[in-house]
Amino acid sequence: MKKIVALFSGEGTNLANLIEKIHLKHGAIVCAITNNPNAGGIAKARSAGIPVEILDHREFESREAYDTALVDLIREYNPDLVVLCGFMRILTPVFTSNIRSINLHPSLLPAFKGARAIERSFESDEKVCGVSVHWVSDELDGGEIIMQKSFRKSDEETLESFTVKIRAIEHEILPLSVMSLLKES
């Protein structure tokens, strides 16, 4: 069975979705790694019997030092695929040149790269918005697109309703992307 390492920082809703749709069906999530010792996703992973590694970025003197430790930790699990699902770290070339990974981003890249993508997309004049899954590269949210799905923003849209649509698409296309890539590898 193909091995996946998942990286997350927050509540772990996308991690929980991967556990439900992928884990032990299409691949095994052999480890979930977080940079946040208080992340809600820790309990979600542990309740599924998935080992959790907490690598707190605040304990490192630089991004490069953190990424070196992260690369070493990931390599211990020898994954076929590394999935960033809500991992809120800007990764350096120490990571990007050593780990082949995919990322979920809540906009139609190349629009709205970086932080606050949902809010910026919602506040924009764009009528068509959506979600992207892409390969992680040295450029923030700049790697090759694997999958995108869009929807038309309505005039009555609120940030809350917009966010619900984004989350639903995330929960649809991240597992589809992972399944497709695991079949190819």
- The tokens describing 103, both together, are 């990322």
Question: Does any domain span residue 10?
Answer: yes
- What's the farthest any 2 CA atoms get from each other in the chain? 49
Say which CATH number the domain at 46 has. Answer: 3.40.50.170
Question: Does any domain span residue 116?
Answer: no
Q: pLDDT at residue 185 above 80?
A: no
Crossing angle of helices 13-21 and 159-184, rounded to 10°: 40
Q: Tell me which residues are annotated as active site.
A: 105
Q: Let me know the angle formed at the C-alpha of 54 by 177 and 4, rounded to the nearest 5 degrees.
A: 25
Question: Does any domain span residue 112?
Answer: no
Mean pLDDT of the chain, nearest integer: 97
- Do strands 101-105 and 81-84 pair parallel, antiparallel, or not at all (unpaired)? parallel
d(CA 165, CA 185): 31
Question: Does any domain span residue 38?
Answer: yes
- The tokens describing 118, both together, are 């949902």
Query: Containing domain of residue 144, as a range?
Result: 3-106+132-148+170-184
pLDDT in tens, 19-45: 999 999 999 999 999 999 999 999 999
pLDDT in tens, 140-173: 999 999 999 999 999 999 999 999 999 999 999 9
Count of the separate structural domains present in the chain: 1
- Are 2 and 32 in contact by the 8 Å Cβ rule? The answer is no
Question: Does any domain span residue 73?
Answer: yes
Question: Does any domain span residue 85?
Answer: yes
Q: What is the dihedral of CA 73, 74, 77, 83, to 10 degrees?
A: 150
Q: Let me know the angle formed at the C-alpha of 141 by 137 and 143, rounded to the nearest 5 degrees.
A: 40
pLDDT in tens, 94-139: 999 999 999 999 999 999 999 999 999 999 999 999 999 999 999 9
